[in-house]
Amino acid sequence: MTKAIITKNVVKKYKQYSNQKERMLDLISPTSRGEDFYALNGVDFEADKGDVVGFIGINGSGKSTLSNIIAGIVPETSGEVQVNGQPALIAVAAGLNDDLTGRDNIELKCLMLGFSKDEIKELEPEIIEFAELENFIDQPVKSYSSGMKSRLGFAISVKVDPDILIIDEALSVGDRAFADKSLKKMMEFKDQGKTMIFVSHSIGQMKTFCDKILWLEFGRVKAFGEVKDVLPLYEAFLMKWQNMQKDERDIYRNKIMSKDPADNKYKNLGDLMVLDDDEELEASHTYSVRPVSRLAHLKAYTTYVYQSPNDDENKSDAQHLKNKVYYVKREATYQFENYYLLSTQPSGEDGVIGWIRGIETSSHVHTLVDNDKKIFYLTGRGFASSEPWGGKRQYVHESLEHHGGLIFDVNETILIGNNVWYQGVIEGESESVWIHSNNVVSDMEELNDDDDSNN
Ligand SMILES: Nc1ncnc2c1ncn2[C@@H]1O[C@H](COP(=O)(O)OP(=O)(O)OP(=O)(O)O)[C@@H](O)[C@H]1O
């Protein structure tokens, strides 16, 4: 596969000054002033020809810096950058000269990209039409709104037909209609097999548009891989980040930024590459399974049953599983969420159906009390089911109304949460059933007392 972009150990260092005076002194005095700040710190990244890669990361993680370096607009401090093809960057503030008119900017940008005057004459009306700037095209760009600038930048970049298109948050300004039109154009480019880099905070746009995701965190690559592998990890991280207090965020940021880039080691989890020292990230991609003993019913809104907790592709509708109770002998945590392995039998191997999100179930701990023989009498209330705490579809007797006073010959007692359930055989029947302890009494007299109090 031909590589369109390769970056190796790319570092971008800026100087940060506490005030303007320090900045001036740094320029004129031989002593170095200000503090070094690494916007990128050892970034290795490769895109194949035709890849559509989304750059994600919280503010200040280096997304724009890396896209500007790939576009050749900002030089790297050190490292290697190889771009095979003509890149074009679309960003709100990129490459437009504020003092020139829209038309002059079109000409300038096209000349810089090597177009002849005749070619530019041909392209110009198409660009103006795509940018929807009709009357403004001969006004200086400084009079444009950010949406208008972005439209002009987008129109020039797509009409010059670059090999590599880099779109930095350009769709987040301007109106919805233009964003849709731009997204359509980008889809066309994608279909043509062009390489694209897409920088956005919109998870939705990333999902619909990108194939792969590069997750940057304070200048380092945190993860790189397919959308389905990286985005859920990032979304889980964002939830954690949003719940952090400012001082917790500062500690986290300093910890990441103080690391030596030479220590950036990566581990491959299938096609996903993650930072080797990030155990939490690894744990949230893989999942840990623990033995457990629960019984579970599915809630009304239950969505899917998964083949494995970290596989969003292989899932099936869980609706048909409702109104039954299931055994849960395995529990897993994946990306801070609990999953249960549903089974029709009290086993983690036999009768297994699949994994379901814990919050989509009502479940209780299931414990054996004893297998002692006990004799009870049915009160005539409740139901009998083939499984303990059975659902409608597991009723043997939907109502025990006509069974009041019959003997219930019990051979197993269990606890489901705080509720006691008995397994046994009802007098005159052969099939074993489960009945809740509220619906039996241990001697006939209690039954008569019950009847008296009811009368
Ligand atoms: N010219 C510059 N001088 C000094 N620091 C800079 C400069 N450009 C960027 N930085 C710093 O580098 C870091 C990365 O910035 P960058 O714009 O690449 O992040 P980003 O991930 O694109 O952020 P956002 O999501 O906010 O657009 C930030 O801390 C930023 O302040």
Query: pLDDT tens digits for 430-445?
Result: 999 999 999 999 987 7
**pLDDT, tens digit (0-9, with 9 covering 90-100), for 353-365:** 999 999 999 999 9
Q: How far apart are CA 323 and CA 286, in angstroms?
A: 31
- Complex prediction ipTM: 0.96
**Is 63's C-beta closer than 6 angstroms to any atom of ligand 1?**
yes
Q: How far apart are CA 308 and CA 299, in angstroms?
A: 20
Q: Whose CA is nearest to atom 6 of ligand 1?
A: 14
Q: What's residue 145's pLDDT?
A: 84
Q: What's residue 455's pLDDT?
A: 44
**Is 57's C-beta closer than 6 angstroms to any atom of ligand 1?**
yes
**Is 64's C-beta closer than 6 angstroms to any atom of ligand 1?**
yes
**Is 68's C-beta closer than 6 angstroms to any atom of ligand 1?**
no
Ligand 1, residue 74: give the atom nearest the CA: 1
Strands 272-275, 352-357: parallel, antiparallel or unpaired by DSSP? unpaired
Residues 6+ positions from 416 with CB-CB distance below 8 Å: 295, 364, 365, 366, 388, 389
| Identical topology for domains 3-85+163-281 and 288-367 | no
Query: By the 8 A CB rule, do 378 and 404 touch?
Result: yes
pTM of structure: 0.66
Where is pLDDT greater, at 12 or 311?
12
**Is 62's C-beta closer than 6 angstroms to any atom of ligand 1?**
yes
Query: Which of 24-38, 85-99, 111-125, 350-364 bottoms out in mean pLDDT, i.e. has the lowest?
Result: 85-99
Average pLDDT over residues 68-72: 90
Q: What's residue 161's pLDDT?
A: 79
**Statement: residue 9 has pLDDT above 70:** yes
Of 126, 131, 128, 122, the C-alpha closest to 182 is: 131
**pLDDT, tens digit (0-9, with 9 covering 90-100), for 201-249:** 888 888 888 999 999 999 999 999 999 888 888 888 888 888 889 899 9
- Averaged confidence pLDDT in the chain: 87
Length of the chain equals 455
Average pLDDT over residues 3-9: 93
Strands 52-56, 195-199: parallel, antiparallel or unpaired by DSSP? parallel
Q: Whose CA is nearest to atom 25 of ligand 1?
A: 59
The residue extents of the domains of the chain are 3-85+163-281, 90-158, 288-367, 371-454
Q: Choose the residue to mutate in 7, 14, 40 for probing ligand 1, maximizing ligand atoms within 8 Å of C-beta.
A: 14
Average pLDDT over residues 421-438: 97
Where is pLDDT greater, at 285 or 372?
372
- Which amino acid does the sequence have at 83? V
3-state DSSP helix/strand/coil % of the chain, to nearest 5: 35, 35, 30
| Letter string b/e over residues 357-390, b meaning 16 or more CB atoms within 10 A of that residue's CB | bbebbebbebeeeeeeeeebbbbbbbbbbbbbbb
Query: Which of 110-114, 125-129, 344-348 bottoms out in mean pLDDT, i.e. has the lowest?
Result: 110-114
**Is 200's C-beta closer than 6 angstroms to any atom of ligand 1?**
no
**Is 302's C-beta closer than 6 angstroms to any atom of ligand 1?**
no
In CATH, what is the architecture of 288-367? Roll (2.30)
Q: Choose the residue to mutate in 17, 38, 59 for probing ligand 1, maximizing ligand atoms within 8 Å of C-beta.
A: 59
**pLDDT, tens digit (0-9, with 9 covering 90-100), for 172-199:** 666 777 777 777 888 888 888 889 999 9
CATH for 3-85+163-281? Answer: 3.40.50.300
Q: What's residue 426's pLDDT?
A: 97
Ligand 1, residue 37: give the atom nearest the CA: 5
Average pLDDT over residues 425-432: 96
Q: What's residue 446's pLDDT?
A: 73
**Statement: residue 91 has pLDDT above 70:** no
Q: How far apart are CA 94 and CA 400, in angstroms?
A: 76
Ligand 1, residue 68: give the atom nearest the CA: 18
Average pLDDT over residues 157-169: 82
Sheet of strand 35-48, all strands in order from the earlier edge strand to the far edge: 35-48, 3-16, 78-83
Question: Residue 102 CA to chain centroid, in angstroms?
Answer: 39
In CATH, what is the architecture of 371-454? Roll (2.30)
